[in-house]
Amino acid sequence: MTIADLDKMERVLESRLVPWVRQASGLISRHLADARAHATKALTDTLKLTTDGRPSARKVLRSPSYQSAGNRLRTLQDALIGPASDSLDGLIRDARAAFYRNSIELWTPVIPAEYRVTADPAPTKMGESLMRGAIIHGFDLARELSPSIKQTSDQLFVVLNSAGRRKAGLRVGDDLIKLWHAQSVARLNRKVASILSDSDKAIHEATGWLIIAPEYRGEREFSAGGLHF
């Protein structure tokens, strides 16, 4: 393999990542916009129902609009990594499968035929499942993304408790929700882009390892790029 081969691969890895980051950003944008709309309604409802000017945490928690906002955050997580802890669905996992298929095309020409597991390597269902469910840097996707979603939800609860005070007024409340929305979108975009980037590189390395015939891999378990399976 030459330096030119490696440079070409690196450029492909960077370019193939872009549309998946864009798709994820669209999902985040849509779900957070919905959550913001529900949160704004929860704020209005709380103020309307409050006689003492200080809505309690219990009133916020019981607000159907606040609950709907939380549901949008949960469905965002489902859309990104699947609805269950052992799921192989979701946009990020779809990206991993696409990276795997593309990496086979990238590696095959640069690995001599005598070192390949087969003369003409092709994607397999087992290989795709491995990549969709792979552990990277010691974290599965649910464990890696869930804290960011929970943080977003927890911060919304704090915002609504603060903004719902009568003395804050609707203008201040709206500003707090807008700030929550902007910060949450930016934070989740960064987190998901980082997960996708790590997946891109780790799965490329793992795919190259899988293409090599077992007798040439060595005896160690694959762990390059922080990926384990």
pLDDT digits (tens, 9 = 90+) for 137-191: 888 899 999 999 999 999 999 888 887 666 656 677 889 999 999 999 999 999 9
Question: Where do the domains of the chain lie?
Answer: 3-228
% of the chain residues with pLDDT over 70: 86
- pTM for the full predicted model: 0.89
Nearest-angstrom CA–CA distance, 69 and 138: 31
Residue 53 has pLDDT above 50, yes or no: no
On average, the pLDDT of the chain sits at 87
Residues 89-144 have pLDDT tens digits of 999 999 999 999 999 999 999 999 999 999 999 999 999 999 999 998 888 899 99
Q: Do residues 147 and 188 touch, judged by C-beta distance below 8 A?
A: no
In whole angstroms, what is the distance from residue 124 CA to residue 210 CA?
11
What is the per-residue DSSP string for 149-167? HHHHHHHHHHHHHHHTSGG
Block residue for tokens 């993304």: 145
